[in-house]
């Protein structure tokens, strides 16, 4: 019936029906053509040949130094033999002033010698375009200079809402035999006199017992411009080539003294580049791992008793940002030339939605990264006192599929109730054993090894399980998954 009415309606007005049909047909055709052209234009705009030659175009954020990729990631075993040439470039807007008019010009700059190697047709035939001294620094960059750039301290952003919670620190941990330690060189916010509260904290675990040694000082802000070379009181960090040299002279609450010198040797391929997260009102937090696994050496003297750390393994990371209301989950382990790291940051709700910041996990081999993932689930099981007993991590990505179990053997609790990092929670540093299975790139993972982890709990853990903001977020996550 409906079909018969439509036919009669069209037949009764043949001219109008023909024009209408032609109009609809033309509209559909034009839309199809525009969609096809747009797709072609998008592909061409991303074509390496159109932006400077080469076969692969890699885009990076401002926080990842291009020289790190050139001298590190691209030199890993998985890529080294496949790289014929590589060249960094930068684009920007320039303004040409002519005849009283201002004309915006899109400009692109690169390293001349490297541009020619990747076959850039636009500049390859310009003979008088030669490398400058700054270009030479790019083409002859060394791993030690890259390391120093990664480990520099950051200018404090102008963010009045969070200003009093700024902190930046160098963190080291290591083990040798039955001795383990955590070491932090920390700088807090700037005061009105242009100085910053700073401190050094060493937690030394031996003979089944944790000992804590500290020192505090007020340091001129200019002292942090040379970081990672730092001096706080009689304690210092110096980066000499790829070796960190650390001198300590600290006191415990009971008057005991620890002093000595430690060394940690970095490896160019064993690092994680900077990761930075931003939120509302200028909130920011960042993290980089200059040393995933390095050779540890040196010794400490505790009240005259010498403790050797020679032959041990160490780790070093660097954190910066605003820490009011911030908590995190983190862990790392090394085994047989592999380094595995995972983590997740929970920002204050006023800065960002904690549910929308993903976790991360990555695996590095002796010469560089093997695989990473941001689809990461971290779940914790507590003992009767509400402290973590076991942590389970599942991470899945294009080249990473791992299941990780961490059994807690020892816990060190720090109450975060004062200073720049106050959040009203208890900070837990965990030691234990990791069981790892799965795949990273083309490599199968199946090992058990000692490692470290960090997490938080509420100020007064309940007897029935975890408490605090982190645990509420976990419960919501698990409810969504179910």
Q: What is the pLDDT of residue 10?
A: 58
Q: What is the pLDDT of residue 94?
A: 83
pLDDT above 70 covers a percentage of the chain that reads 74
Whether 180 and 209 have beta carbons less than 8 Å apart is answered as no
For residue 19, name the pLDDT band (cuts at 50, 70, 90). Answer: low
26 class by beta-carbon count within 10 Å (0-12 exposed, 13-18 middle, 19+ buried): exposed
Q: What is the pLDDT of residue 464?
A: 31
Average pLDDT over residues 48-74: 60
More confident residue, 104 or 2: 104
Biggest CA-to-CA distance, the chain = 110
Q: What is the pLDDT of residue 71?
A: 59
Q: What is the pLDDT of residue 259?
A: 96
362 token code pair = 């990555």
112 token code pair = 């001349």
**Residue range 95-147, pLDDT digits in tens:** 888 777 888 887 777 788 777 777 776 776 777 778 887 777 766 667 888 88
Q: Return mean pLDDT, the chain.
A: 82
More confident residue, 187 or 271: 187
d(CA 159, CA 161): 6
Residue 219 clears pLDDT 90, i.e. is over it: yes
DSSP H or E run through 220:
strand 209-220
d(CA 475, CA 167): 30
Q: What is the pLDDT of residue 384?
A: 87
322 token code pair = 């605003």
Average pLDDT over residues 193-209: 91
Cα dihedral 9/10/11/16 (nearest 10): 120
Q: What is the pLDDT of residue 119?
A: 72
**Cα–Cα–Cα angle for 208, 460, 350, rounded to 5 degrees:** 115
Q: What is the pLDDT of residue 478?
A: 44
Residue 34 clears pLDDT 70, i.e. is over it: no
Average pLDDT over residues 34-55: 56
**Residue range 280-290, pLDDT digits in tens:** 999 999 999 99
First-to-final CA distance of the chain: 50
Closest to 171 in 3D by CA, of 199, 194, 195, 191: 199
Q: What is the pLDDT of residue 90?
A: 72
DSSP assignments along 67-94, one per residue:
HHHHHTGGGSHHHHTT-S----EEEEEE
Average pLDDT over residues 252-270: 90
Q: What is the pLDDT of residue 354?
A: 84
**Residue range 310-336, pLDDT digits in tens:** 999 999 999 999 999 999 999 999 998
For residue 196, name the pLDDT band (cuts at 50, 70, 90). Answer: very high
Whether 171 and 199 have beta carbons less than 8 Å apart is answered as no
What value does the CA radius of gyration of the chain take, rounded to a whole number of Å? 28
Average pLDDT over residues 259-285: 90
Lowest mean pLDDT among 56-60, 91-95, 324-328, 443-447: 56-60
pTM of the model: 0.75
d(CA 68, CA 368): 11
Q: What is the pLDDT of residue 436?
A: 97
For residue 461, name the pLDDT band (cuts at 50, 70, 90). Answer: very low
């Amino acid at each position: 019936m409906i079909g018969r009415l439509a036919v009669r309606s069209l037949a009764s007005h043949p001219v109008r029906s023909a024009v209408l049909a032609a109009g609809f047909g033309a509209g559909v055709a034009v839309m199809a053509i525009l969609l096809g052209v747009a797709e072609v234009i998008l592909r061409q705009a991303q074509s390496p040949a159109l932006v400077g030659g080469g076969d692969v175009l890699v885009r990076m954020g401002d926080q990842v130094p291009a020289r790190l990729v050139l001298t590190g990631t691209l030199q890993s075993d998985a890529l080294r033999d496949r790289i014929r040439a590589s060249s960094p470039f930068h684009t920007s807007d320039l303004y040409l002033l002519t005849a009283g008019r201002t004309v915006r010009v899109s400009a692109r700059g690169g390293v001349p010698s490297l541009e020619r190697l990747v076959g850039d047709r636009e500049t390859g035939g310009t003979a008088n375009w030669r490398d400058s001294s700054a270009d030479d620094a790019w083409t002859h960059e060394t791993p030690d200079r890259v390391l120093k750039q990664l480990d520099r301290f950051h200018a404090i952003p102008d963010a009045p809402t969070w200003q009093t919670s700024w902190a930046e620190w160098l963190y080291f941990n290591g083990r040798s035999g039955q001795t383990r330690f955590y070491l932090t060189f920390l700088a807090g916010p700037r005061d009105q006199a242009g100085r910053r509260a700073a401190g050094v904290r060493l937690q030394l675990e031996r003979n089944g017992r944790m000992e804590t040694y500290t020192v505090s000082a007020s340091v001129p802000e200019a002292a942090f411009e040379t970081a990672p070379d730092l001096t706080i009181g009689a304690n210092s960090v110096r980066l000499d080539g790829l070796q960190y040299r650390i001198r300590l002279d600290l006191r415990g609450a009971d008057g005991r003294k620890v002093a000595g010198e430690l060394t940690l040797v970095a490896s160019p391929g064993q690092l994680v580049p900077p990761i930075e997260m931003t939120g509302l009102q200028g909130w920011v937090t960042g993290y980089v791992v200059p040393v995933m696994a390095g050779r540890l050496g040196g010794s400490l003297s505790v009240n005259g008793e010498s403790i050797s750390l020679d032959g041990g393994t160490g780790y070093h990371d660097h954190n910066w940002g605003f820490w009011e209301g911030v908590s995190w989950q983190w862990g790392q382990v090394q085994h047989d030339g592999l380094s595995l790291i995972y983590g997740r940051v929970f920002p204050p709700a006023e800065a960002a939605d904690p549910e929308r910041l993903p976790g991360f996990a990555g695996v590095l081999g002796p010469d560089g990264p093997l695989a990473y993932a941001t689809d990461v689930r971290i779940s914790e099981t507590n003992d009767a006192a509400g402290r973590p007993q076991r942590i389970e991590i599942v991470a899945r990505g294009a080249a990473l599929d791992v299941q990780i179990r961490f059994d807690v053997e020892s816990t060190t609790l720090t109450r975060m109730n004062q200073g720049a990092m106050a959040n009203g929670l208890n900070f837990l540093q965990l030691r234990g054993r990791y069981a790892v299975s799965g795949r990273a790139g083309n490599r199968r993972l199946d090992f058990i090894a000692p490692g470290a982890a960090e997490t938080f709990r509420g100020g007064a853990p309940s007897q029935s399980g975890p408490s605090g903001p982190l645990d509420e977020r976990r419960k919501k996550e698990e409810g969504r998954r179910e």
